[in-house]
Amino acid sequence: MKYFGRILFILVAIVAGIYYYNDIQNERAIEKTKEEKRIEYENEINLKINQMVQKYNANDNWTEDLTSNKDFLAPVMTIEIERVWLNNPILFIGNIDDISTYNQSDYLLSISYSSFDSLSKYPALYSLDIELELKCPKKLVDTKIPNSGIIKSFLESNTAIIAQVDSVKNIKYFDDEGNQTNIRVGVGKCLDFIYVDNTNN
């Protein structure tokens, strides 16, 4: 009986080990599939962004032009932003903060800059608050964002937009202690954009 009990114990341990091993393998397979889908999705988005940049001959390197030779805390003048924004369409990566009605055929989109990749490469951007206010056709927005105005999630950056900036204004804010903050706002129109919704990925 003791011998039989030992054999039974070993068999149970082997079966439990097999089930545990299979569970681990299944979990790894699921995680691998999720990672592969994420990489595939990111590659698809990057491809679409590159196609937009080429289509509109947009400047996707303006962050480097603006800050590459600056120290971390060096101020950025409005005229410097004008030089890299006003000449050609630009690629702007950020978050849609607000959508409002501009007129019967257009929305007004407010987008704040939020590209972690550029911020990590060009530290001077950390001290710079930049936004866009863009007139954008309702048909385009409603096509890209069903039920426009309903942003499902807050991401590090949820929009890649091709913008034609016509002017840059400097808005000054003062906090309770009297410290001044300058927000540079590019005003113009939206030519095209990609809205990234990761809620289903």
Q: Cα 20 vs. chain centroid, distance in angstroms?
A: 39
How many residues in total does the chain contain? 201
Residues 99, 146: Cα–Cα separation, whole Å: 13
Asked if residue 56 has pLDDT above 60, the reply is yes
**What pLDDT digit, counting tens, does each position of 108-155 carry?**
999 988 755 555 555 556 667 889 999 999 999 988 886 655 555 555
CB count within 10 Å of CB 65 equals 12
What is the pLDDT, as a whole number, of residue 17?
58
Going by pLDDT thresholds of 50, 70 and 90, the confidence category of residue 57 is: very high
pTM: 0.73
**What pLDDT digit, counting tens, does each position of 29-41 carry?**
566 676 777 678 7
> Could you tell me if 186 and 128 are in contact, meaning their C-beta atoms sit under 8 angstroms apart?
no
